[in-house]
Structures are given as C-alpha cells and as structure tokens.
C-alpha cells in the first residue's frame, strides 16, 4: 500500500484513452461503444465524478445548439459573425449537421425538453416542436442534465473502463516515433497512487480554463465564477506541451452576467425579452448603436457579435453611467400584461405565477448561486431590476469563444490544408497531400480533442460538445484500426514520472520545518498563493477586470517577464495533501494556458474582440492584415514557443 510521498505506481494500457468526463468525453464514450470492434480496449479517466463533473455539473436550463429545421450553413454564418469572422467553417458545419441527434438522445435518456402547446406528449424525434428561447436555443428542465448524460456514457462503457478522481498531469510522446502520442500520466486525488497510461489514440477533453484571471469575487466569494472552477486549462496546457498546435488562443470569453451570482443572461434576453439599460434607463444597444459602424460587417449584423454587445455596455460603465441593469421587472410586467390582455385576469394570474417560477428555475437549474443572491438580497425579479456585470475572462472553445487546438476537419468539407493523418503539418506549413484524414486529430499523431478543446469553432455549447466527442470517437477508432501494430514506448520510467508529479510533495517534506508557517517560508509557495500571483499578473497587465479589459504592447511585455519569473518560482510549489497536489498541478496548467493567451495577444496586431479586450497599441480591427488564424506551437524538446499566421478561408458565403 502506498503512503503520502511514497505512492504506488499502477501501469495501464488501452488502445483508446479518454481524458475528462464532461460532455465531449461522454459523447465519445457513448459513440465508441456503438462500434467498438472486438479486442479494442478503451479507458476513461476523469479528475472528478462524471455524474457531476465539468461545466454542466450544476445543470443547465437551455440547450444552446439545436438546429431543428434550420440549415447548418446558417448556423455557420451565425457563429462566424459572433466570433468576428475568424472561424473554421468546416468544423462548425460538421457540428451543425450532427448536433440534433445528441439532443434527441438526451431526451430519450430522460432529459425533459420543453415543448410548444399541443406537442407536450411528442418527443423531438416524433416531430414535437421545442420551446425556443432563441433561434438556436431550446429550453429544458436541466438540473440533472449532466447526471443523465453521464449515466448513458457510464452504462455504455461499464464502470470497469472508467476511473474517477484521477487528475491527468501530462501527456507522453512516443520514444521511438516522433510527434506520436503514446500515453499520459496522472495521480489519484483520493489514494496514494500514480497512474501511467499507454494508448494508441487519446482524446484530451478536459474543458476550458477558469481562474487564470483574478475573478471579481475574491476573498468573500472565492471560488465563485461563471465557468466551472474545476477546469483549469489542462486541455490546452497538456496538448501544447507535447507540441500540439494551438489556434486563436488570443480569444477569450467575457460574458455579461448577473452581478455576483454569475447568472446567465440568455434566457432573459431571448425568452423573456428583457432589455439591458444604464442607470438613466437608456437602452445602450440603441443609444450606442453608432459604435457598431466601426466594426462592419460584424457590428451591422442583425444580432451584433457578443463582444460588440459588451463593447457598447462597457462604454456606459467607463463613462459613469453604471450600474447596468437587466430589466427583469419591466420584462415580466410586460409579459404579465400580455397574458391579462389575452386570457383575462383569472387565467393570467396562474400564468404569471408560472412565469415567475420559470424565472427562478432558470437559475436554480444552472446557477444556484444567483438564486441565492436574489433570495439573500430580497430581490423580487418581477418588481426590481438586477445588476449586470462583465465577468473576468475565461478560455473556452465551446461557448461564445473560440480559443483552442488546431485540428483536422471532416474529409468531405475541409480543404486539403485542414486535413492530415500520419504526416501532420509543421508550424506554418501545409500538410503533405494525399493523406488519410482523421477528423478532430491535433497536429500530434493519435491525439484528438473536442468540445472546449477544438479551436476556431465556438457556439457548440453542451450539445455540440457531446456531438463533437462522438465525431472524434469514430475517427479514433479508424486510427486505432489503421495502426494496429503500434506499441507505445515511453521515454521515462514510471518512477521518474512519479517523481515529477510528486515534486510539490517532496518540496513540502523537505522544507516544512524551516519555518512555523507554510505561507512564510522562502523555500515554499502554497498553490493558493501562486494562483493569486498568476491572477494578479493576468489581471493587471493582460486586460483583466482591474484595467477594464485594457492593455497595450508594453504592458504585455512586462507580463511576459513576470510570467517567466513566476514559472521559475512555481518549482517551489508545495503540497500538504493530495488535494493540494491537485491544486498545484492545476496551477501549472493555468500558467501555460495564460502564457499561450498572452503570446497570441502580443502576436495579433489589432483589437479583434473589442468588449473582450482592448490592445490600445492597435485599437482597431484590421481586416486586411489580420483576418487570419493566429496559431502557436511549443517545441516539446526545448520548450520554445513560436507564433505564426495561418490563412483563413470562408467555405460558406457570408453576407
């Protein structure tokens, strides 16, 4: 039996390894088991418990991608516009044409999906019409959404193929074949055990990155953020460290959210038709509409891009016309009046009660903290408005952001430069022609991703991430079948890997008696302190909330220097128990994700996403020179980063 500081080492091998247990992982697991050929082995490893892990842990109240009768090409147009034109149409179209089937499965597995009057008894598959909150979004009773989706994945895989509460620390390249994935290594956060995995194909789907920037809620509300605190950039960091090409890491998502509780706004804007106003009651989307003309065509679209909606809101805050309010009161009152006019007072009363319940349920389903704020502050949303606030930045590739990893696209849609197999492209070069393509493979052979992992293709949300996991599953099976003879070889022994992982534990054991307090010890840094230092740098120099999302080239150069020092000092991080060991490794991942973001921001000489961040050295959109992907890559041997452009291509005609 292992003990703290002296863990057991367990070696495991499977053809396929899934890292993560979120929406993409569950989709992949489910799809793999539909096709799994005899003799092919699979393993899924999640740092938490699949039933409540990842971004959908709390549940959701809407599924934001369900196309129904709409054309996937229109979906591509919407996503492209929302992300200021620089996206991969092939990847988005691919999600669009597959996503509905995942939603239909969720319903089959027990997820209640709201239906229009008269269609309550019909499933989506039977032609039941969903209640749409917006053009692409449908309403659900989704408190148990993740539980339902995870149950189906667990049932498909069987628990003997699943390991929970194991944090993957790094991916491992093959010792014999260059740029070829061979395995991963992690540790249990419950037992003194290190796990060394070998595999022929790996899906790295550990979600986006939260807590890289200083959150608005600090001491009093530490841990309160909008995106899931548990996702710490592992996807981007681990893939980058083995040389996988990243794309659009300069993109971030700064959602406008209900202040302090981080309650999402979509249902309020789209379903309840609420307006957001400044302190004078002016609708800034109307009074500041002129500003959109600076950003054609994205600003002049019917629905201006998410960052531009922020851009108009932030002007009000900067010029002292805050707070910004979501007018829940006038929206609910207007709906109540329309019920009275249509149904008369008695029937209307019932409907209004139901409406108010829905307003609360929107938060109770996916952001309980916001319902807590309303209750704690005696807010009755039908009577008073609630404050909105732009949050700290997050990195994600599945919601209204598009940072992530550069992958292949579907063979029938992607142009040749976005397809590869055994001979992935080098930095800035095109892949060799005529290769068999494997959809959603990164530029590392055998390494795949999906969901928040795939860059330049946002607005997949929960359903699209699940569908993308399924897409990757099929390609991974093809990869495994086509590389049957592959025997992964690791360049380090399991003992060497274990020593690397337990470094923070060794630090603690060696130096703990130097002082009486862990926080005051020149040899040690607690993960909590290191995280705060990272967040301070990112906040103050890389356009966090502290500077109202503003930075410039000189400030970012300072951040590069500070991050370099931080990285050196991170070798002193300590861990007093397994939980703290996980916190330490989360920070190593956050640092890489933050550094990638910073390096991409420095490379892109324009402000492509006003409202998400402003680079005041180049505070404009430059369509001529910068309508291109910014990609980057680390040399896994030297650790050196390079950033470079890749050409953008529209596959779907845009207005």
- Min separation Cβ 419 and ligand AMP, Å: 29
Using CA atoms, how far apart are residues 115 and 123, in angstroms rounded to an integer?
9
In the shown chain, the binding pattern of residues 120 to 159 toward ligand AMP, with x for contact by CB under 6 A and - for none, equals --------------x--x----------------------
Partner whose footprint covers residue 226, from ligand AMP, ligand SFD, none (CB < 5 to 8 Å by kind): ligand SFD
266 binds ligand AMP (CB under 6 A): yes
CB of 300 to ligand SFD, least distance (A): 24
Among ligand SFD, ligand AMP, none, what does residue 407 contact (CB within 5–8 Å per kind)? none
Q: How far is the CB of 253 from ligand AMP (least distance, A)?
A: 9
Under 8 Å between Cβ of 232 and 47? no
Q: Report if residue 463 touches ligand AMP, rule: CB under 6 A.
A: no
Binding-site string for ligand AMP from residue 83 to residue 122, where x marks contact by CB under 6 A and - marks none: ----------------------------------------
Q: Which is nearer to ligand SFD, 82 or 606 (CB)?
A: 82
Q: Is the dihedral of CA 421, 423, 428, 430 positive or negative?
A: negative
Output phi, psi for 342, to 5 deg.
-85, -40
Task: Write out the residues near ligand SFD by the rule CB under 6 A.
Answer: 19-25, 45-48, 53-56, 60, 62-64, 167-168, 205-207, 226-228, 230-231, 234, 264, 266, 366-367, 398-399, 451-452, 461-463, 465
Which option in ligand SFD, ligand AMP, none does residue 546 bind, with CB closer than 5 to 8 A by kind? none
Q: Is 303 in the site for ligand AMP (CB under 6 A)?
A: yes
Q: Which residues pair with 203 in a beta bridge?
A: 18, 448
Interaction partner, residue 398 (ligand SFD, ligand AMP, none; CB < 5-8 Å by kind): ligand SFD
DSSP string, 376-419: HTT--TTTS-EEEEE---BB-SSSS---EE-----TTTS-GGG-
| Ranges within 306-335 binding ligand AMP (CB under 6 A) | 306, 309
For residues 17 and 476, is the Cβ–Cβ distance under 8 A? Answer: no
Between 27 and 263, CB nearer to ligand AMP: 263
Q: Is the torsion defined by CA of 32, 33, 34, 36 positive or negative?
A: positive
Q: Can residue 449 be called a binding residue for ligand AMP (CB under 6 A)?
A: no
Residue 465 interacts with ligand AMP (CB under 6 A)? Answer: no
Q: Which residue, chain included where needed, has tokens 């849609």?
A: 413
Angstrom distance (rounded) from CA 259 to CA 389:
5
Strand blocks (E) in 94-191: 138-139, 162-163, 166-173, 181-188
Q: What does the CA dihedral 511, 516, 520, 526 come to, rounded to 10 degrees?
A: 60
Is 64 a residue that touches ligand AMP (CB under 6 A)?
yes
Nearer to ligand SFD, 63 or 543 (CB): 63
Task: Give the containing element (helix H, strand E) for 647.
Answer: strand 641-647
Asked if residue 154 lies in contact with residue 50, where contact means CB atoms within 8 angstroms, the answer is: yes
Question: CB-wise, 327 or 604, nearer to ligand AMP?
Answer: 327
Among the listed residues 255, 421, 451, 488, the single contact to ligand AMP using CB under 6 A: 255
**Residue spans of alpha helices (H) in 298-456:** 306-318, 328-343, 345-366, 368-376
Q: Which of ligand SFD, ligand AMP, none sits in contact with 46, Cβ below 5 to 8 A by type?
A: ligand SFD
Residues 6+ apart with CB under 8 A from 393: 212, 213, 252, 253, 254, 543, 544, 549, 612, 613
Of 62 and 305, which CB lies nearer to ligand SFD in the complex structure? 62
- Cα of first residue to Cα of last residue in the chain, in angstroms, is 64
Partner from ligand AMP, ligand SFD, none binding residue 431, C-beta < 5-8 Å depending on class: none
Q: Per rule CB under 6 A, is residue 56 in the interface with ligand AMP?
A: no
Nearer to ligand SFD, 500 or 565 (CB): 500
């Amino acid at each position: 039996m292992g003990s703290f500081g002296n863990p057991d080492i367990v070696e495991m091998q499977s053809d396929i390894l899934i890292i993560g247990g979120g929406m993409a992982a569950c989709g992949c697991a489910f799809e793999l088991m539909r096709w799994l050929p005899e003799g092919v082995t699979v393993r899924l490893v999640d740092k938490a418990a699949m039933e409540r892990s990842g971004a959908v842990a709390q549940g959701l109240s809407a599924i934001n991608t369900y196309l129904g009768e709409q054309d996937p090409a229109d979906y591509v147009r919407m996503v492209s516009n929302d992300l200021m034109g620089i996206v991969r149409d092939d990847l988005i179209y691919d999600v669009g044409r597959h996503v509905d089937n995942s939603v239909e499965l969720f319903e089959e597995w027990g997820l209640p999906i709201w239906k229009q009057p008269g269609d309550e008894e019909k499933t989506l598959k039977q032609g039941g019409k969903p209640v749409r909150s917006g053009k692409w979004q449908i309403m659900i009773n989704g408190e148990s959404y993740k539980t339902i989706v995870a149950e189906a994945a667990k049932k498909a895989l069987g628990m003997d193929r699943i390991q929970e509460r194991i944090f993957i620390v790094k991916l491992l390249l093959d010792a014999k074949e260059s740029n070829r994935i061979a395995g991963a290594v992690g540790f249990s956060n419950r037992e003194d055990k290190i796990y060394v995995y070998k595999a022929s194909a790996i899906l790295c789907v550990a979600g986006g990155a939260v807590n890289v920037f200083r959150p608005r809620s600090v001491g009093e509300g530490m841990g309160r953020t909008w995106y899931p605190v548990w996702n710490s950039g592992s996807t981007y960091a681990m893939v980058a460290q083995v040389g996988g090409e990243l794309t659009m890491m300069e993109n971030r998502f700064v959602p406008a959210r209900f202040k302090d509780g981080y309650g999402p706004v979509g249902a309020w804007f789209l379903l309840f038709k609420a307006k957001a106003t400044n302190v004078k009651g002016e609708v800034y989307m109307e009074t500041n509409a002129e500003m959109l003309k600076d950003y054609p065509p994205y600003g002049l679209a019917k629905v201006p891009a998410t960052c531009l909606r922020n851009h108009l809101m932030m002007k009000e805050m900067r010029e002292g016309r805050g707070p910004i309010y979501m007018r829940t009161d006038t929206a609910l009152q207007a709906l109540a009046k329309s019920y009275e006019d249509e149904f008369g007072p008695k029937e209307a009363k019932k409907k209004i009660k139901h409406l108010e319940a829905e307003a609360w349920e929107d938060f109770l389903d996916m952001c309980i903290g916001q319902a807590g704020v309303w209750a704690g502050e005696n807010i009755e949303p039908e009577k008073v408005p609630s404050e909105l606030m732009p949050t700290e930045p997050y990195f994600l590739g599945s919601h209204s952001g598009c940072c992530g990893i550069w992958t292949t696209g579907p063979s029938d849609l992607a142009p040749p430069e976005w397809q590869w197999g055994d001979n992935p492209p080098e930095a800035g070069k095109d892949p060799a022609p005529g290769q068999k393509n494997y959809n959603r493979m990164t530029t590392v052979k055998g390494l795949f991703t999906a969901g928040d992992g795939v860059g330049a293709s946002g607005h997949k949300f929960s359903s699209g991430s699940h569908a993308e996991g399924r897409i990757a599953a099929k390609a991974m099976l093809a990869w495994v079948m086509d590389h049957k003879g592959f025997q992964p070889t690791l360049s380090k022994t399991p003992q060497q890997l274990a020593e690397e992982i337990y470094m923070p534990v060794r630090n603690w054991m060696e130096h703990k008696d130097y002082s009486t307090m862990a926080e005051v010890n020149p040899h040690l840094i607690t993960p909590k302190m290191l995280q705060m230092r990272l967040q301070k740098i990112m906040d103050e120099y890389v356009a966090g909330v502290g500077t109202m999302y503003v930075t410039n080239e000189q400030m970012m150069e300072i951040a590069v220097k500070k991050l370099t020092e931080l990285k050196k000092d991170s070798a002193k991080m300590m861990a007093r128990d397994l939980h703290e060991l996980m916190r330490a490794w989360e920070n190593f991942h956050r640092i890489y994700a933050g550094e990638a973001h910073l390096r991409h921001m420095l490379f892109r000489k324009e402000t492509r996403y006003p409202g998400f961040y402003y680079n005041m050295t180049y505070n404009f959109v430059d369509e001529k020179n910068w309508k291109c992907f910014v990609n980057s890559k680390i040399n896994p041997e030297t650790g050196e980063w390079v950033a470079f452009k890749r050409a953008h291509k529209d596959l779907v005609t845009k207005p």
